[in-house]
Amino acid sequence: MEENNNLIRIYTGSEITVNLLKDELEKLGISSIIQNDFNSSVTAGFATGTRYSVDLFIKEHDVNKAKPIIKGFFQINK
């Protein structure tokens, strides 16, 4: 059986919040990928996006496992 490795964006926000959420997901073995277009564009010599447009992606097959972590993270960090 093939594993679904499609990436799903689960959150967009500040770099600090994205990194904190990434850490919580990794504690339960859910790997994630951060995409920061703002930093990438500045490094390339032009600016696009905003500092608060950092995206966090996980594999589609991890979405159901991640939902309670995400919900709890944002209830605690209100």
At 16-45, the pLDDT tens digits run 999 999 999 999 999 999 998 655 454 545
Mean pLDDT of the chain: 82
**HSE toward the beta carbon, residue 14, CA cutoff 13 A:** 3
pLDDT value of residue 42: 47
- The residue count of the chain comes to 78
Angle (deg, nearest 10), helices 63-76 and 15-27 = 130
Is it the case that residue 9 has pLDDT exceeding 90? yes
Identify the residue with better confidence: 50 or 25: 25
* Percent of residues, the chain, with pLDDT higher than 90: 62
Single pTM value for the model = 0.75
Judged by DSSP in three states, 32 sits in strand
